[in-house]
């Protein structure tokens, strides 16, 4: 599972540790992906270790994709 799909499973803001768990990835791997997505403006910090989607409707779009 990739970072954005793992993040989309949360109804609100997402803890990076929860995303890493769903991805079956290390915290550093998830943190690196988080940083790249933040640099690209796709996700935004919502607190320490917490992110939210920065693009309206992205969560819904990701959830609508077939597995």
The pTM for the full model equals 0.90
Query: Where in the sequence is the domain holding 33, given as residue range(s)?
Result: 3-64
**Which of 6, 1, 12 lies closest to 50 in space, CA to CA?**
12
Q: Categorize the per-residue pLDDT at 67 as very low, low, confident or very high, splitting at 50, 70 and 90.
A: confident
CB count within 10 Å of CB 39 equals: 9
Residue range 29-63, pLDDT digits in tens: 999 999 999 999 999 999 999 999 999 999 999 99
Any idea what the CATH number is for the domain that residue 15 is in? 1.10.10.10
- Work out how many domains the chain is built from and give that number: 1
């Amino acid at each position: 599972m990739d970072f954005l799909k793992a993040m989309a499973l949360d109804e609100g803001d997402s803890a990076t540790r929860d995303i890493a768990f769903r991805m079956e990835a290390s915290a550093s791997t998830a943190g690196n992906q988080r940083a790249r997505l933040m640099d690209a403006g796709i996700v935004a910090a919502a607190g320490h270790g917490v992110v939210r989607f920065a693009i309206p409707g992205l969560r819904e779009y990701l959830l609508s994709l077939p597995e």
